[in-house]
Chains A and B, each alone.
Chain A
Amino acid sequence: MSDVATSAPTSSAGRGSLGASLPAGSGTAIVLLGAWLLLIVVSGLHRGDFLSHQTLLAVTFTMAVTGVLAVAQALVGISGGILDLSQPTSLILSAAVVSHYLEAGMPVPVAVLLGIAVGAAWGLFNAVVIVVGKLNPIIVTLGTNFIGQAVMLLVYQNAQAPISSPLTAFGQSYFLGLPNIWWPMVILVLVVGYLLPRTRYGRHAIAVGGNRFAAQARGISLKKTRYAIFTISGGIVGAAGVLFAASSGPFGPSAGSTYQLPVIAAVILAGVSLAGGRGSIWMILLSIGFLSTVPTSLVFFGFSSNWQAVFQGLVLIVAVAIDGWRAKRLQR
């Protein structure tokens, strides 16, 4: 696993023989994988038709956009930016831009690049406010999310990528039996998870998130890192917006808010510390897989869709508790 940390000790010494023999972060992976498999087995035992291609499609479609957003959120978290609460606005803004330009007849690649660029610009805007104003990122992004949604409400009611667009066809089709939009998420998780601890900029982000004073003492610019991470993270949210536009049908300015809770829960469950400096991007595949299976499983158990938010909220609370427990354990 690519669990990364700078300020926190990663040695597993003293955790017993199993802990000593496994790489850092393996415990989280084992727990997540175990929980996911348990959920699948129990659901399958309850209803045999749970183990079907239809369920696989439902879960993987759910994973796609949420997973991409979780990667962006994890980058912010690992770099010490805590959370980007403006993701819902950035997601919809990018999706609306892509839809608008496709409607206007622009070629798909250009519209897609524009959508990603808008997301990156939104991230840069957040970074400017945070860095120049020396403000708390979580408060700033909470504010920009409200502002963005309010402005979008004034500008448009609904957007939709044209039904006849190749992007829509891409968003509704499959590759190797799984949704097309699922594969970019998997590739992104693997690539970002590989690059983050192995590139200079990635290590700077981890260092700043772990201990910014120590990072500054080593000559790492906090400002430059903030600008870079928020811009890259924004670009990734823009990519999520493209996938959202490809697969969602008509959407209004507030449509992104349903992603906020599962994305934050997935990031924390994946072991990304809200205190920064620690977390595995690869683990997001497991946390998103588990969290995306929960709503489908609930329906098989006969729960109405109204229960999904209840379970998501519970999972978030449990995840935050686990994060707090991890932090205390590491301090000891």
Chain B
Amino acid sequence: MTNRTVRRAVATLATVAVAAALTGGATVPAQAFKLGMAVGGLPALDWMKAQGDVANALAKRRGWDYVELSNNNDAATAVKNADIFIQDKVDAVIEFNGQPSVNPVLAQKLGAAHIPVVTYDIAQKGFYFVGIDNQAAGIAGGKALGEIAKAKWNCQPDLVLSSEGAGAGIVNTWRTGGMRDGLKQVCPDIPADKWISFEGNGQAAVALPAARDVLAAHPDAKKILVVGLNDGGVLGAIQAAEQLGRADDIIGWGQDGSYITGNNVDPHLAGSVFYFLEGYAVYALRDVIDKIAAGNPPPMKDDAGDPASRVEPCPVSAAEAAKIPDMPERVKQLLAAPAGTTEYELFCPKKG
């Protein structure tokens, strides 16, 4: 060993010693876990913004860094956001992407960067699925409507309308078909020729004229039930009956709770099924991201039928819906509740 080498070794040791003295001998703290959240980005949908607010609050409570980007309901923006998450070196991402056509691209990019992703309600291979059990939601709504039909018409309706939304694909099959299944569980003897489907596209404005024609073609039907993809599709059929002077002949039960609260509820919409979309982050963090942050990622469950975390549907009558707080109040109470508590547990009147 030469003198020069010895001098270098001594200098290095001295530098390390000084650095250790300055830091008090402590190790450099590990970087905080960083959660990325891509919100849907339709400003008019309050629950989309609330999804981000809840995720932010829960992440901060855990001492995590939180990065929120808006997908602006736009496919190209969703892809750009994935790139930003990768550059920002987030440790996990929650996606609510209303443009699922680019989900394979997001999966490829984020997968290559080894960033685990939770997706809300829209399944994508390689993403942890957190969302509603649409089939269960449909069955719950159908059973609730069946109980009304049993009490009021002894399970003998003249007509059962299904306001389909074929564009929603399997979700329509689960929800609308599930409602029919639930109704059959309570009223198993409704003849096959009483069941009529029409395309409502999940919109009252589309469902209304289609249902109007169906009702005109069944002028003698006096006891009419309506199920459908969502509240809007069911409401279209109810309003068609109102236009034809048959408002008191029809009872509907919707899905998603869009039109069952507030001061503009149609009296013939008997109930709906709440999903409490704004509170999904509780499920995502509790069942997936907490485990990833702890270095113990859960097994991949990317199938809506076998999700990483299942959101419980909450069927409510119109009277019960009137007692459920509005969304800002629900968020407030959710964040004040013990960790892991869901809105279903807090607000659903009929917990399973």
Q: Is the CB of A248 within 8 A of B44?
A: no
User: Which of B73, B208, B220: most chain A CB closer than 10 A?
Assistant: B208
Interface residue? B349 (CB, 8 A): no
Chain A binder among B49-57, B150-158, B197-205, B321-329: B197-205
User: Would you list which residues of chain B between 190 and 214 have a CB under 8 Å from chain A?
Assistant: 197-199, 203-206, 208-210, 212-214
Q: Is the CB of A299 within 8 A of B216?
A: yes
Q: Is the CB of B216 within 8 A of A55?
A: yes
Q: Is the CB of A305 within 8 A of B210?
A: yes
Cα(A250)–Cα(B216), bound, Å? 22
Cα(A298)–Cα(B209), bound, Å? 13
Chain B binder among A75-83, A158-166, A317-325: A158-166
Q: Is the CB of B42 within 8 A of A154?
A: yes
Chain A binder among B17-25, B171-179, B240-248: B240-248
Please, which residues of chain B bring their CB within 8 A of the CB of A163?
A: 264-266
Cα(A154)–Cα(B203), bound, Å? 18
User: Which of B204, B205, B263: most chain A CB closer than 10 A?
Assistant: B205
Q: How far is the CB of A117 from chain B (nearest CB, A)?
A: 23
Q: Chain A, 236-272, contact with B by CB distance < 8 Å: what is the 0/1 string?
A: 0000000000011111101100100000000000000
Q: How far is the CB of B80 from chain A (nearest CB, A)?
A: 18
Chain B binder among A2-10, A56-64, A193-201: A56-64
Q: Is the CB of A54 within 8 A of B215?
A: yes
Chain A binder among B84-92, B105-113, B231-239, B283-291: B231-239
Cα(A62)–Cα(B219), bound, Å? 17
Q: Is the CB of B258 within 8 A of A305?
A: no
Please, which residues of chain B bring their CB within 8 A of the CB of A251?
A: 203-205
Q: Is the CB of B219 within 8 A of A249?
A: no
Cα(A27)–Cα(B38), bound, Å? 60
User: Which of B199, B215, B243: most chain A CB closer than 10 A?
Assistant: B243
Interface residue? A144 (CB, 8 A): no
Q: How far is the CB of A245 from chain B (nearest CB, A)?
A: 11
Q: How far is the CB of A273 from chain B (nearest CB, A)?
A: 29
Interface residue? A304 (CB, 8 A): yes
Q: Is the CB of A249 within 8 A of B236?
A: yes
Q: Chain A, 126-160, contact with B by CB distance < 8 Å: what is the 0/1 string?
A: 00000000000000000000000000011111101
Interface residue? A115 (CB, 8 A): no
Interface residue? B28 (CB, 8 A): no
Q: Is the CB of A249 within 8 A of B214?
A: no
Q: Is the CB of A154 within 8 A of B216?
A: no
Interface residue? A172 (CB, 8 A): yes
Interface range on chain B (Cβ under 8 Å from partner): 35 or more
Q: Is the CB of A57 within 8 A of B204?
A: no
Q: How far is the CB of B263 from chain A (nearest CB, A)?
A: 8
Interface residue? B217 (CB, 8 A): yes
Please, which residues of chain B bring their CB within 8 A of the CB of A250?
A: 204-205, 232, 235, 258-259
Cα(A172)–Cα(B246), bound, Å? 11
Q: How far is the CB of A316 from chain B (nearest CB, A)?
A: 18
Interface residue? B305 (CB, 8 A): no
Partner of A155, one of B44, B206, B209, B212: B44
- Which partner residue on chain A sits nearest B209 by CB separation? A62
Q: Is the CB of A153 within 8 A of B198?
A: no
Q: Is the CB of B216 within 8 A of A172?
A: no
Q: Is the CB of B239 within 8 A of A249?
A: yes
Partner of A61, one of B44, B212, B220, B236: B212
- Which partner residue on chain B sits nearest A252 by CB separation? B203
Interface residue? B43 (CB, 8 A): yes
Q: How far is the CB of A288 from chain B (nearest CB, A)?
A: 14
Interface residue? A17 (CB, 8 A): no
- Which partner residue on chain B sits nearest A256 by CB separation? B205
Q: How far is the CB of B109 from chain A (nearest CB, A)?
A: 26
Interface residue? A234 (CB, 8 A): no
Please, which residues of chain B bring their CB within 8 A of the CB of A298?
A: 213
Q: How far is the CB of A235 from chain B (nearest CB, A)?
A: 22
Partner of A54, one of B204, B206, B244: B244
Q: Is the CB of B205 within 8 A of A248?
A: yes
Please, which residues of chain A bring their CB within 8 A of the CB of B215?
A: 54, 58
Q: Is the CB of B198 within 8 A of A157?
A: no
Q: Is the CB of A153 within 8 A of B44?
A: yes
Please, which residues of chain B bring their CB within 8 A of the CB of A174?
A: 245
Interface residue? B1 (CB, 8 A): no
Q: Is the CB of A61 within 8 A of B243?
A: yes
- Which partner residue on chain A sits nearest B266 by CB separation? A163
Cα(A160)–Cα(B43), bound, Å? 18
Q: Can you list 8 residue pairs at the A/B interface with Cβ under 8 Å?
A: A58-B215, A58-B216, A62-B209, A153-B44, A163-B265, A248-B208, A255-B203, A296-B216
Taking Cβ atoms with an 8 Å cutoff, the residues of A that contact B are 47, 49, 52, 54-55, 57-58, 61-62, 153-158, 160, 162-163, 172, 174, 179, 247-252, 254-255, 258, 295-296, 298-300, 304-306, 308
Taking Cβ atoms with an 8 Å cutoff, the residues of B that contact A are 42-45, 73, 166, 197-199, 203-206, 208-210, 212-217, 219-220, 232, 235-236, 239, 242-245, 258-259, 263-266
